[in-house]
């Protein structure tokens, strides 16, 4: 049979310090302990980037050929050192994976070449960057907080060509009432921010979209959650209370129960419909986050 198996120094240390009868205890929560993290999975408390990269890698493997083409057209997306993986020779991060899939969803039902686009809450500008890189957008207007807009203006000035950047208009919210919005927009976009606004502000933007836009695309959470295991409520009780009270959908659900999410999705479609007569052209789960939904609405015929 040969030499008897020996315990190497690594597992000798693990056995003495991390996986032994004393550490195992009564099994009540061992799958959330160092015991199991040594045996079957990486410690979720210290391996967030590892899990993020694993997620991105798996999502990259699911991209369609058309989405790969969309992604390759977006130059400069590595600015800012995002957490990326290399897949088929291409650097891929979660933000732009999500952006090309948003574009795919929108493009199935909206003619984007020549479109006038309005985005409410642009973050650092990834959606604008993606649309401008893939479509012949006529104009792109961003409404946002002045503080956030300082970042998107700087980012987009860097990653877009001079011609593309010249099509982008930035309107701080404190100038919105007096800003010239022209004859309206073909498409309004909101990704992951209407759900963080108070109800009065949410209603204001819904009225703006209903009165000035032909289509509206939204990608937002279907509801709230109280699962402390996700982040240990690290930002404190006050931040939690503010989050639970914001947006049009404040019901607390199990966001990792697909039936609960799908059940809430009907309420999502009703809540984000800009106005009477607006039809929901398409809606679906907005992967990869379990509790996000996306929907595209079209204005009544008389308003087109």
- The verdict on residue 49 lying in a domain is no
Contact 304, 268 (CB under 8 A): no
What secondary structure, in 3-state letters, does the chain show? Answer: CCCCCCCCHHHHHHHHHCCCHHHHCCCCCHHHCHHHHHHCCCCCCCCHHHHHHHHHHHHHCCCCHHHHHHHHCCCCCCCCCCCEEEECCEEEEHHHHHHHHHHHHHHCCCCCCCCEEEEECCCCCHHHHHHHHHCCCCEEEEEECHHHHHHHHHHHHHHCCHHHHCCEEEEEHHHHHHCCCCCCEEEEEEECCHHHCCHHHHHHHHHHHHHHEEEEEEEEECCECCCCCCCCCCCCHHHHHHHHHCCCCCCECCCCCHHHHHHHHHHHHHHCCCCCCCEEEEEEECCCCCCEEEEEEECCHHHC
Query: What is the reported pLDDT for 14?
Result: 77
Whether the full predicted model's pTM is greater than 0.85, yes or no, is yes
pLDDT digits (tens, 9 = 90+) for 137-188: 999 999 999 999 999 999 999 999 999 999 999 999 999 988 988 889 999 9
d(CA 57, CA 198): 36
The domain containing residue 259 runs over which residues? 108-303
Q: Examine the pLDDT at 5 and tell me if it is beyond 60.
A: yes
pLDDT digits (tens, 9 = 90+) for 254-273: 989 999 999 999 999 999 99
Q: Examine the pLDDT at 31 and tell me if it is beyond 90.
A: no
Domains of the chain: total: 1
- The verdict on residue 66 lying in a domain is no
Query: What is the reported pLDDT for 262?
Result: 96
- The verdict on residue 135 lying in a domain is yes
- The verdict on residue 11 lying in a domain is no
Q: Examine the pLDDT at 4 and tell me if it is beyond 80.
A: no
Q: Which of 257, 248, 199, 260 is nearest to 220 (CA)?
A: 248
Query: What is the reported pLDDT for 169?
Result: 97
Contact 107, 79 (CB under 8 A): no
- The verdict on residue 291 lying in a domain is yes
pLDDT digits (tens, 9 = 90+) for 39-54: 778 788 888 999 999 9
Query: What is the reported pLDDT for 279?
Result: 97
| CA–CA distances in Å: residue 126 to residues 13, 194, 252 | 46, 17, 29
Provide, rounded to the nearest whole percent, the portion of the chain with pLDDT above 90: 69
pLDDT digits (tens, 9 = 90+) for 70-86: 999 999 999 999 999 99
Query: What is the reported pLDDT for 273?
Result: 97
Query: What is the reported pLDDT for 167?
Result: 98
Q: Examine the pLDDT at 243 and tell me if it is beyond 70.
A: no
CATH of the domain at 247: 3.40.50.150
Q: Examine the pLDDT at 304 and tell me if it is beyond 60.
A: no
Mean pLDDT of 9-21: 79
User: Of 244 and 69, which is predicted with more confidence?
Assistant: 69
pLDDT digits (tens, 9 = 90+) for 76-121: 999 999 999 999 999 999 999 999 999 999 999 999 999 999 999 9
Provide, rounded to the nearest whole percent, the portion of the chain with pLDDT above 70: 92
- The verdict on residue 70 lying in a domain is no
Contact 101, 128 (CB under 8 A): no
Query: What is the reported pLDDT for 293?
Result: 97
d(CA 238, CA 242): 6
Query: What is the reported pLDDT for 300?
Result: 94
Query: What is the reported pLDDT for 183?
Result: 85
- The verdict on residue 244 lying in a domain is yes
| Least confident residue range of 28-37, 47-56, 225-234, 242-251 | 225-234
d(CA 160, CA 288): 27
Confidence band for 1, pLDDT divided at 50, 70 and 90: low
- Mean of per-residue pLDDT scores for the chain: 90
- The verdict on residue 34 lying in a domain is no
């Amino acid at each position: 049979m040969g030499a008897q198996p020996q315990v190497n120094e690594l597992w000798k240390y693990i056995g003495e310090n991390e996986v032994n009868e004393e550490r195992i205890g009564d099994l009540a929560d061992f799958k959330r302990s160092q015991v199991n993290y040594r045996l079957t999975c990486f410690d979720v408390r210290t391996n967030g980037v590892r899990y993020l990269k694993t997620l991105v890698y798996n999502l990259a493997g699911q991209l369609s050929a058309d989405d790969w083409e969309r992604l390759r057209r977006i130059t400069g997306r590595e600015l800012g050192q995002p957490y990326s993986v290399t897949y088929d020779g291409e650097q891929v991060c979660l933000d732009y994976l999500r952006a090309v899939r948003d574009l795919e969803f929108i493009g199935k039902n909206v003619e984007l070449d020549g479109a006038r686009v309005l985005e409410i809450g642009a973050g650092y500008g990834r959606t604008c960057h993606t649309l401008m890189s893939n479509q012949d957008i006529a104009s792109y207007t961003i409404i946002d907080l002045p503080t956030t807009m300082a970042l998107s203006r700087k980012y987009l000035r860097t990653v877009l060509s001079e011609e593309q950047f010249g099509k982008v208009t930035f309107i701080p919210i404190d100038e919105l009432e007096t800003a010239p919005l022209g004859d309206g927009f073909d498409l309004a976009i909101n990704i992951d921010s209407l759900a963080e606004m108070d109800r009065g502000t949410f209603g204001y933007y819904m009225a703006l979209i209903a009165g000035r836009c032909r289509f509206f695309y939204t990608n937002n959470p279907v509801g709230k959650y109280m699962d402390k295991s996700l982040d240990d409520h690290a930002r404190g009780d006050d931040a939690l209370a503010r989050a639970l009270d914001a947006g049009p959908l404040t019901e607390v659900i199990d966001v990792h129960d697909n039936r609960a999410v799908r059940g809430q999705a009907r309420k999502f479609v009703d809540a984000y419909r800009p106005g009477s007569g607006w039809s929901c052209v398409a809606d679906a789960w907005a992967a990869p986050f379990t509790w996000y939904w996306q929907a595209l609405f079209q204005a009544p015929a008389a308003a087109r």
